[in-house]
Amino acid sequence: MTIRMAVIGAGRIGQIHASNAARNPGVSLAGVADAIPEPAAKLAAQLGTSVVTVEQIFADHSIDAVLIGSSTDTHADLIQRAAAAGKHIFCEKPVDLDLNRARECEKAVQASGKACLIGFQRRFDPTFSALKARIEKGEIGELEALSVISRDPGAPPVEYLQRSGGIFKDMTRVRLPSSTCNVRAAFSRTC
């Protein structure tokens, strides 16, 4: 089965996710949308697809899924629109900078019956995988806290900074209070 997926966002993270999706034999790219025409055209040409609008994506019933790699301030709205349009969703973190807005998205996705995955790739990094293996073997003991440092490869453009939560908020997962939420669980699900 081939999934027809459209890409929203042709910036750095959109390019990374779209290129990965394009290499997957089970994915057929159905177009690239971006608020800025030049990056959309460049990415669409690189990946052998066309430039489309967000409206076209949500109106096209042949598109099964959306990959959201746009600026942080657009994630929640696009998730809700995708859910309402009956699309499966892959969205770069964070869902939103406001926890209540993120919970609204969760409700919209649950009501749609569609799958939604929020990209938090760090769990697959070699150092994270090694840590997980050591935890599972009991080499470390019961962890109560974990502090991780991560850095982007360079300074982001000003346009990104104006619309995002900034690197500190955009690279942080929201952890919901729970007596069962611990470091071990964080590797298998979002707490």
pLDDT digits (tens, 9 = 90+) for 45-80: 999 999 999 999 999 999 999 999 999 999 999 999
b/e code 55-67 from CB counts within 10 Å (16+ = b)? eebbebeebbbbb
Q: For the chain, which residues score pLDDT lower than 50? A: 173-191
Determine how many CB atoms are found less than 10 A away from the CB of residue 141: 8
Determine how many CB atoms are found less than 10 A away from the CB of residue 30: 21
Q: Is 164 exposed, middle or buried (0-12, 13-18, 19+ CB in 10 A)?
A: middle
Give the C-alpha distances (Å, rounded to integers) separating 138 from 143, 182, 184.
10, 15, 11
Domains of the chain from N-terminus onward: 3-119 (3.40.50.720), 122-186 (no CATH)
What is the spatial distance between Cα 36 and Cα 71, in angstroms, rounded to a whole number? Answer: 12
Selection from 186, 182, 176, 179 nearest residue 102 by Cα: 176
What is the spatial distance between Cα 80 and Cα 102, in angstroms, rounded to a whole number? Answer: 10
What is the spatial distance between Cα 84 and Cα 13, in angstroms, rounded to a whole number? Answer: 24
Give tens-digit pLDDT for 34-44. 999 999 999 99
The tokens for 77 are 């709205």
Q: What is the pLDDT of residue 165?
A: 65
Q: Are 43 and 15 in contact (CB under 8 A)?
A: yes
pTM above 0.85, yes or no: no
Q: What is the pLDDT of residue 86?
A: 98
